[in-house]
Amino acid sequence: MVEIIGSLIFSHIIPPIMAFLGVILICVGIMDRKDNYTIGGVVLFLAGGILPFLILPLVLGS
């Protein structure tokens, strides 16, 4: 049961939230010409896409 909840959280809940916040930061950074926000948004967006592939094997034990 814990594996199902953990895999659901790390594959379907956290990544979309990170990607959405990343897109918001990218938009704010570009509109206000703040490079720190833009770079942070890009990093957050990419982390939302890559982290499930790094975390899920640890959670599922494979």
Distance CA 56, CA 48 (A): 13
9-32 pLDDT, tens digit each: 888 899 999 999 999 999 999 999
pLDDT recorded at residue 3: 67
Please tell me the pTM assigned to this model: 0.83
Residues 6+ apart with CB under 8 A from 10: 51, 52, 55, 56, 59
For residue 54, report the phi and psi dihedrals to the nearest 5 degrees: -90, -35
28: nearest Cα among 13, 49, 42 = 42
